[in-house]
Amino acid sequence: MSDLADLSVGGAAAGLRAGEFTAVELLEAVHRRAAVTEAELHAYLTIDRDGAARAAVAADSALRAADDPGPLLGIPVALKDNMVTRGVETTCSSKILSGYRPPYDGTAVSRLRAGGAVIFGKTNLDEFAMGSSTENSAYGPTRNPWDPERVPGGSSGGSAAAVAAGSAMIAYGSDTGGSIRQPAALCGIVGVKPTYGLVSRYGLIAFASSLDQIGPLTRTVEDAVAALEVVGGHDPADSTSYPGSFPDMRSGLEAGVSGLRIGVVAELNGAGIDPAVQAAVDETVAGLERAGATVVPVSLPSVAYALSAYYLIAPAECSANLARFDGVRYGLRRHGETVEEMMSTTRGEGFGPEVTRRILLGTYALSAGYYDAFYGQAQRVRTLIIQDFADAYEQADVLVSPTSPTTAFPLGARTEDPLSMYLSDVCTIPSNMSGDPAISVPVGVDENGLPVGFQIMAPALGEPVMMRVAAEVERQAGFTARARLATSEVG
């Protein structure tokens, strides 16, 4: 490996400790890569040159002092721009937060700083994490490093593109309905949505509070484990944070899948899935079987209603979460004679179309006379989905499906039809509804050379078995294809 920007976290950590290169050199390699890729990709909204440089210098002195806070010491990391960073512009890709510099760090960010990570920049996303293509950004779309005419997926498209292109070693995103896993799949990298509550949401700008979860986007399963270990664990500032000890995801990585039961979800495979995607998934399942796993068909009957329920619950929660953007205390303000007029104009002009649409949907779903038929019913459906998962996990240790029904689609292909865009998340939404963990691992490419993601779902706090299967999938797939733009060569 000639370019430091292409190293895995494990490789970089070893090199740093062996004195083969410094954190400053590692940061420079990532800067060189970004200088080439950003012109085409637009993965970043902000690159924090000064902050990153300071962190790299600090990491080098910690390395010299053998003061080792863990695996991310000196590692260049990208953060989705809905993660609050003190003093560094945090916009959620929205006009309404243009120029906003928060006065505090979120918990995950504080833990990254404490872990010696070098926070390189803030990545593009669909505005307020609402979307599946990163086209809904007030600052322009991010492109897919495998094919710049295609979307990187979303909403964590900037984070996925940066990791796939090597302009970040790892990145963090948030996953409300698939926003980490789907872009990871479309960009050929690993993406994890942890168990709800495993990573603190304090400092994650909320989209739908009962569904949002921070997670890593990495090039390997092992990197994902390292990335999770640093930010995860109980946080008293988040009332929904899991209070128990952090699960051991590392020790099973080499254990293989012999004796494990792999459940293939009938409702999430086959119908509605692109044949090339399904073929890669089927091949992966066959590989797991060859490696000693038992493959069992399982059914999640209520999952057919998951997308519908999601498009009531997420907008409802978002309509309240986004009420605070009113031009009073921070962010954009548009003129109004009265405060009410000022708020309405600010919000009307400050939010993009997708965000506006979801606020309207959610406001309607919660309004008097409709609550029970829409929001209330969606919450009951959520209960049924959770019960279905519980039943399925009686029969299988993990459940599998494609991550996304298709590979990366062309820019603009779905922007005019919200519902077709929403269908991008049909395989990922169920895990957000249940709060369970899920991971996307790249397993192959389609006829256009675009990557396919394989999704592994596990019961709550089932990250150890999920990672164990993911590591086996990774070994079997031997996915070594690289994004076309993953190069520091100019031209």
Partner 1 sequence: MTWETVIGIETHVELTTASKMFCGCPVDFGAPPNTNVCPVCLGLPGALPVVNGRAVEYAMTIGLALNCSIAPHSVFARKNYFYPDMPKNYQISQYDEPLCVAGHLDVDTDGEVARIGITRVHMEEDTGKSTHVGDGGRIQAASHSLLDFNRAGVPLMEIVSEPDLRSPEQARAFVAELRGVILRLGVSDAKLEEGSMRFDANVSLRPSGSTEFGTKVEVKNMNSLRSLQRALEHEVERQQALLDAGEPVVQETRHWNEDAGTTSGMRSKEEAFDYRYFPEPDLVPVEVDDAWRERVAGALPELPAQARARYASAGLDPVAADLVSRDPAAGTIFEEATAAGADAQTVANWLTGEVTALLRRQDLSLEQSGVTGAGLAELAEMVDDGRLSASAAKEVLAGVVAGEGNPESIAAERDLIQVSDVSALEPVVEEVLAANPDAVAKLHEGDGKVIGFLIGQVMRATGGKADPAAVTAILRGKSA
Partner 2 sequence: MPVEIDIAKVARLARLSLTDEQLERYRVQCEVVLEHAARVQALPTEGVAPTSHPLPRTNVFREDEVAECLDREEVLAAAPDRDGDYFLVPRILDE
Residues in contact with partner 1 by CB under 8 A are 82-84, 90, 92, 97, 100, 102-104, 106, 201-206, 208-210, 236-240, 316-317, 319-320, 323-326, 328-330, 339-340, 343, 363, 366-368, 371, 375
CA-wise closest residue to 193 among 465, 428, 473, 424: 428
397 Cα distance to chain centroid = 23
Report, in Å, the least distance between residue 202 CB and partner 1.
5
206 contacts which partner out of partner 1, partner 2, none, CB within 5 to 8 A by kind?
partner 1
Compute the distance between CA of residue 450 and CA of residue 394 in angstroms, rounded to an integer.
35
Quote the CA–CA distance of 3 and 488 in Å, as a whole number.
Answer: 8
d(CA 315, CA 325): 16
Residue with tokens 């790299």: 56
Q: Count Cα atoms within 13 angstroms, Cβ side, for 311.
A: 17
Q: How far is CA 386 from the centre of its chain?
A: 22
Least separation in angstroms between CB 361 and partner 2: 5
The verdict on whether 95 is a catalytic residue reads no
CA 149 to chain centre: 21
Q: Could you say which of partner 2, partner 1, none residue 8 binds, taking C-beta under 5 to 8 angstroms by partner kind?
A: none
Is 179 tagged catalytic? yes
Cβ 387 to partner 1 shortest distance, Å? 19
Q: Pick from partner 2, partner 1, none: which does 203 bind, CB < 5 to 8 A by kind?
A: partner 1
Q: Which does 374 bind (CB under 5 to 8 A by kind): partner 1, partner 2, none?
A: partner 2
- Spatial distance between the Cα atoms of 297 and 226, rounded to a whole number of angstroms: 32
Q: Beta-carbon neighbour count of residue 6 at 10 Å?
A: 18
Of 243 and 478, CB closest to partner 2:
243
- Contact indicator for 43, 36 with CB cutoff of 8 Å: no
Say if residues 129 and 213 touch (Cβ distance below 8 Å): no
**Would you call 295 helix, strand, or coil by DSSP?**
strand
Can you tell me the distance from the alpha carbon of 491 to that of 477, in angstroms, rounded to the nearest whole number? Answer: 31
SS3 167: coil
Ranges assigned E (strand) in 389-437: 398-402
Report d(CA 80, CA 72) in Å as an integer: 17
How many other CB atoms sit within 10 Å of the CB of residue 1? 9
Of 106 and 116, CB closest to partner 1: 106
Distance CA 77, CA 224 (A): 12
Tokens coding 464:
């150890």
Residue 396 CB, nearest approach to partner 2 (Å): 20
CB of 240 to partner 1, least distance (A): 7
205 binds, options partner 1, partner 2, none, Cβ within 5 to 8 A by partner type: partner 1
Closest distance to partner 2 from the beta carbon of 121 (Å): 21
Amino acid identity, position 301: P
| CB neighbour class for 305 (10 Å; exposed up to 12, middle 13-18, buried from 19) | middle
Q: Taking the complex as a whole, how short is the minimal distance between the CB of residue 44 and partner 2, in angstroms?
A: 22
Within a 10 A sphere around the Cβ of 480, how many other Cβ atoms? Answer: 6
Tell me the three state secondary structure of residue 47.
strand
Active site residue 80: yes
Residue 84 touches which of partner 1, partner 2, none (CB < 5 to 8 A by kind)?
A: partner 1
Q: Report what 202 binds from partner 2, partner 1, none; CB cut-off 5-8 Å by kind.
A: partner 1
Out of 179, 241, 431, 434, the active site residue is 179
How many CB atoms neighbour CB 418 within 10 A? 16
**Taking CB within 5 to 8 Å according to partner kind, which of partner 1, partner 2, none is near residue 309?**
partner 2
State how far the Cα of 71 lies from the Cα of 389, in Å rounded to an integer.
Answer: 34
Q: Which of 94, 110, 132, 155 is catalytic?
A: 155
Residue closer to partner 1 by CB (options 346, 440) is 346
Residues designated as active site = 80, 155, 179
